[in-house]
Amino acid sequence: MATDDLMTRALETLAEDDLPSVEAIHRLTDLAGVPESMTIAEVADVLDISPHTLRYYERAGLVEVARDGNGHRVYDAGAVRRLVFLTRMRLSGMPMRDLQHYVSLVDAGEHTAPERLDMLLEHRDTIRRRIRELTLSLTAVEFKIATYGGSTGPDARPPGAATGA
Amino acid sequence: MATDDLMTRALETLAEDDLPSVEAIHRLTDLAGVPESMTIAEVADVLDISPHTLRYYERAGLVEVARDGNGHRVYDAGAVRRLVFLTRMRLSGMPMRDLQHYVSLVDAGEHTAPERLDMLLEHRDTIRRRIRELTLSLTAVEFKIATYGGSTGPDARPPGAATGA
DNA sequence: GTTTGCGTTCGAGCGCGCTCGAAGCCCTAG
DNA sequence: CTAGGGCTTCGAGCGCGCTCGAACGCAAAC
């Protein structure tokens, strides 16, 4: 699935466009597969989202994209990197509003780094909470599956296989 | 519904968790403490959803609720148990449509148990995928956080110093 | 008797995140 | 020369899951 690809990429390139030290990390990672510039169709394909959605993100102010002589979008490496980041954040549940705020902070300059860090910390906690919720639900569903069609009596089997991942 | 009995047992096994968002459900897992019948306000309170939402679920055909002499809803233990199940499934991302289908199968009789089991298996896999997605995103965010305070410039600060979350 | 308060029904509205359609431009292939 | 395909902009529409408001009923409290 493309999302796993995406995630791998995100892990490798999860960087911010404005941090030199992180830029160094980028170079260490496999960003070589990303061309200098890409069309909207190519970016859509690699991110596994639609061109419509890419235009929507641009309209929403999440990313700036240059145009070529024909007025067609030209995504440079920076834009693609940002979109990888944005897609990952969306996928993990960060609202558009927050992402808009985040990129406005990025664009505002280096002095907003602390606030951006706060946002990331908060989002990290949100993801952790969500994972715990889902793990709990998963356990419940697995238990229900394990006992389905079996005995409906009080001596149900313990959810031995219920802690799998 | 025997299956819901099992569900509540499954929930009991999770009682040691302390997730705030499902705290209300945990309270309910001790079915001994659940009254014979409850008002809409009581059910809303214990499930941590609004009376509006409860009426909406009923309108959607997810649960049948009797009325008292004044036309007020009276939730019996069976209705509450089903709502616990439904709430958990919603929380773990099962769409309303699927729940409507599931409930229709339950109402259709015991011979639909296999199909219900299939739905549960599929939902289990969906939850697992989602957890994996989130875990990957979490790793990415944690990595970004870890690299944020490194050398972000003159006013760099150690990560965690601004834990406002 | 009147007020307070919780309940009822019904349908409409909302916030989110896309998703799509229309009209038009540009390039290339046949 | 024409047809096709992919891009552009813009605004409207959609699917989901609630969320709310209006108008009303009943019952206990003051």
Quick: pLDDT tens for B77-108. 999 999 999 999 999 999 999 999 999 999 99
Residue A92 in tokens: 């993990």
Was domain A2-108 assigned CATH 1.10.1660.10?
A: yes
Cross-chain residue pair A122–B164, CB shorter than 8 Å: yes
CA angle A141, B113, A145 (to 5 degrees): 20
Q: Could you tell me the pLDDT band of residue B164, with boundaries at 50, 70 and 90? A: very low
Beta-carbon separation of A140 and B116 below 8 A:
no
pLDDT at residue B72 above 60? Answer: yes
Beta carbons of B147 and A11 less than 8 Å apart: no
Q: Does domain B2-112 have CATH number 3.30.70.100?
A: no
In strand D, the nucleotides that come within 7 Å of a protein beta carbon are 6-10, 16-21, 26-27
What is residue B154's three-state secondary structure? coil
DSSP state for residue B110 in the 8-state scheme: G
Contact A73/A97 with Cβ under 8 angstroms? Answer: no
Q: CB of A118 within 8 A of CB of B159? A: no
- For residues A73 and B162, which has the higher predicted lDDT (pLDDT)? A73
The pLDDT tens digits for B25-35 are: 444 455 555 67
Nearest CA among B86, B106, B105, B107 for reference residue B95: B86
In this structure, what token pair is assigned to residue A114? 């602390």
Question: Quick one: tokens of A124?
Answer: 């990290």
Residue partners of B7: CB distance under 8 A and separation at least 6:
A140, A143, A144, B81, B84, B85, B88
Write out the two tokens for B104. 């229709």
Residues of B in contact with A24 (CB under 8 A): none
Note whether A69 contacts B: Cβ–Cβ < 8 A.
no
Give per-residue pLDDT as tens, A131-151.
Answer: 999 999 999 999 999 987 643
Report which of A30, A19, A35, A145 is spatially closest to residue B149, judged by C-alpha positions.
A19
pLDDT of residue A164: 31
Tell which residue, A14, A4, A6, has the closest CA to residue A85. Answer: A14
